[in-house]
Amino acid sequence: MRTRYKPYILLIPVTIVLLGIFLSGISIGLLQSLGYFPAVGLRQMTLKYYKEILADPGFLASLRFSLYTAFISSVLAVIMGVLLAYSILQSKQKKGIEELVYKLPIIVPHTVAVILVYNIFSQSGLLSRFLFHLGFINEPTQFASVLFNRNGFGIIFAYLWKEIPFVAMIVYTVLGNMNDKLSETALNLGASQKQVFWHVQLPLIMPSIVSAFIIIFAFSFGAFEVPFLLGPTYPQALPVKAYIEYTQPDLLNRPYAMAINMVLIFMVIVFIGICHKIFRIFYQYDGSKE
């Protein structure tokens, strides 16, 4: 009996730290979003804050903007990351330098990525000055404004720079460990290299790709610093909006910030659920037995 419960007992300390912090934060956030914030005299539970933010066109624009930047950057990062991993694996040259170079952006913080994107793509950045010196534009300000605008290019660039290597790293590891003989078998059965990739390798790494996609989507949908530094003034990304509400001097605004956070969490959970559902419908194989 004692042996049976031993693993659970040993797991208690780490469970308290992990789940404790997570659940207490979520609970406090949820209570505040429902209007229960005794510190400022709010004790009446209500859905008022949710109703108000959901009726606010500014909130809906922010939600759309966050979904758009997170979705586009995640989809592009997955496509490019898979291609990058595949091309590194296919290259016959020594892989040491390639392997090191593509992993570099992973260790660089997001704020540094923002500075890099700013230094390259801003109107006073390297690219505009380069084009100006080559005579393609008459003055640096003629360079298209790709940062701080509603198309979210700056945010997407920064996320791509960070996320492509992340996806590539996951896919590269899975592809590298895949049994080469499966590809040989496919070739032997008449498949071309391209067909081997589409019909054998890609489906087999799909579970890892979906996981990578969910991770980077959830991160970029909920991340604050990149859209705060590179995003437009309107619409603000949802985490930026939540942060601004949170830092309002009037503490009565706090439930709005928490309601936005709860919507963020809810959206991510719904999105992960949809991803898994779609994956299950089209794909019987989950790779768990490999």
Footprint on residues 8-47 left by another protein (CB under 8 A)? none
Q: Is 248 in the site for another protein (CB under 8 A)?
A: no
Nearest CA among 155, 190, 189 for reference residue 74? 155
The 141-180 site mask, x for binding another protein (CB under 8 A), equals --------------------------------------x-
Q: Name the segment binding another protein (CB under 8 A); options: 96-104, 162-170, 189-197, 239-247.
A: 189-197
CA distance 164 to 148: 22
CA distance 154 to 230: 6
Q: Do residues 241 and 259 make contact, with C-beta atoms less than 8 angstroms apart?
A: no
Q: Is 195 in the site for another protein (CB under 8 A)?
A: yes
Minimum CB separation from another protein for residue 210, in Å? 13
Q: 79: helix, coil or strand?
A: helix
Minimum CB separation from another protein for residue 17, in Å? 37
Which of 185, 247, 266, 274: binder of another protein (CB under 8 A)? Answer: 185
Q: Do residues 210 and 282 make contact, with C-beta atoms less than 8 angstroms apart?
A: no
Q: Name the segment binding another protein (CB under 8 A); options: 25-33, 96-104, 113-121, 182-190.
A: 182-190
Nearer to another protein, 234 or 283 (CB): 283
Nearer to another protein, 22 or 285 (CB): 285
CA angle at 54 for the pair 76 and 227, rounded to the nearest 5°: 35
Task: Enter the tokens of residue 34.
Answer: 């429902």
Q: Name the segment binding another protein (CB under 8 A); options: 60-68, 82-90, 128-136, 278-286.
A: 278-286
Minimum CB separation from another protein for residue 277, in Å? 18
Task: Enter the tokens of residue 181.
Answer: 């003989």
Phi-psi region of 41 (alpha: psi -120 to 50; beta: other; left: phi over 0): left
Task: Enter the tokens of residue 135.
Answer: 């005579």
Minimum CB separation from another protein for residue 279, in Å? 12
Q: Name the segment binding another protein (CB under 8 A); options: 22-30, 139-147, 149-157, 186-194.
A: 186-194
Contacts of 72 (CB under 8 A, 6+ apart): 152, 156
Listing DSSP states for 116-152 in one string gives HHHHHHSTTSHHHHHHHHHTSSSSGGGS---SSSTT-
Q: Is 82 in the site for another protein (CB under 8 A)?
A: no
Residue 89 burial by Cβ neighbours in a 10 Å radius (0-12, 13-18, 19+): middle
DSSP conformation class of 42 = B
Q: Is 218 in the site for another protein (CB under 8 A)?
A: no
Q: Is 190 in the site for another protein (CB under 8 A)?
A: yes
Which of 80, 83, 131, 191: binder of another protein (CB under 8 A)? Answer: 191
Residues near another protein (CB under 8 A) are: 179, 181-182, 184-192, 195, 199-200, 203-204, 206, 283-285, 287, 289-290
